[in-house]
């Protein structure tokens, strides 16, 4: 289901731009104002529900931390399970992990080794609030596929298309951004 121009504007206008955060030259896309706006949050979740109800997904995997908010809500709407992909050292059971590059340095995310094992060849949607360089989402898609499941799509509320994240991630899986920022 496609978003109408009016719906897109409602979502777009609810996202707050914070200039020079966390460092000069960066425009931080603040989604707390979207969450705080019941009309915008409702329009967004309704759109995601209608888009993904035909995908026959088995799980939604949300990326730590802002991907949890949208992912857990969507999983509940679709009547499927939610899997948290967390920053290193947070998950209590046995994990598999993947390192990825940040603008400066490296980071690592993890998922429980049995997170998708209840369903053979589970179909998984990875979700996060935003894709920038794509390092985080790429590592998340790798983890899903290494778990014996299949990352069928990565979904973002905001795609920064002036960076190469979306282009690079498309070599691995399908990519969908609700709002594209050029």
Ligand X SMILES: O=P(O)(O)OC[C@H]1O[C@H](OP(=O)(O)OP(=O)(O)O)[C@H](O)[C@@H]1O
**Interacting residue ranges for ligand X, rule: CB under 6 A:** 63-66, 128-137, 165
Interface with ligand ADE, residue 69, by CB under 6 A: no
How far, in Å, CA of 15 to CA of 28, rounded?
10
How far, in Å, CA of 127 to CA of 103, rounded?
21
Name the 3-class secondary structure at 9: helix
Q: 3-state secondary structure string, 122-133? A: CEEEEEEEEECC
In angstroms, give the least distance from the CB of 140 to ligand X.
9
Choose the contact partner of 18 out of ligand ADE, ligand X, none; CB within 5 to 8 A by kind. Answer: none
Nearest to 48 by CA among 182, 176, 181: 176
How far, in Å, CA of 96 to CA of 88, rounded?
10
Choose the contact partner of 49 out of ligand ADE, ligand X, none; CB within 5 to 8 A by kind. Answer: none
The structure tokens listed for 171 are 């070599």
Interface with ligand ADE, residue 29, by CB under 6 A: yes
Question: What pairs with residue 19 in β-bridges?
Answer: 27
Choose the contact partner of 128 out of ligand ADE, ligand X, none; CB within 5 to 8 A by kind. Answer: ligand X
In angstroms, give the least distance from the CB of 132 to ligand ADE.
4
Interface with ligand ADE, residue 51, by CB under 6 A: no
Interface with ligand ADE, residue 118, by CB under 6 A: no
Q: Which residues bind ligand ADE (CB under 6 A)?
A: 26-29, 130, 132
């Amino acid at each position: 289901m496609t978003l109408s121009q009016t719906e897109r504007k409602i979502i777009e206008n609810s996202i707050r731009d914070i200039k020079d955060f966390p460092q000069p030259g960066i425009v931080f896309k603040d989604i707390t104002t979207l969450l705080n706006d019941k009309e915008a949050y409702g329009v967004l979740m309704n759109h995601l529900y209608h888009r993904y109800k035909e995908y026959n997904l088995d799980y939604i995997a949300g990326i730590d931390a802002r991907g949890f908010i949208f992912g857990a809500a969507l999983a509940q709407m679709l009547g499927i399970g939610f899997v948290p992909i967390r920053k290193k050292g947070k998950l209590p059971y046995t994990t598999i992990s993947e390192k990825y590059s940040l603008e400066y340095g490296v980071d690592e995310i993890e998922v429980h080794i049995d997170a998708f094992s209840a369903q053979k060849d589970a179909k998984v949607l990875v979700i996060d609030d935003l894709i920038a360089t794509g390092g985080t989402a790429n590592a998340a898609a790798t983890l899903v596929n290494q778990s014996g499941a299949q990352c069928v799509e990565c979904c973002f509320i905001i795609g920064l298309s002036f960076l190469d994240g979306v282009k690079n991630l498309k070599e691995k899986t399908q990519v969908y951004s609700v709002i594209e920022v050029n």
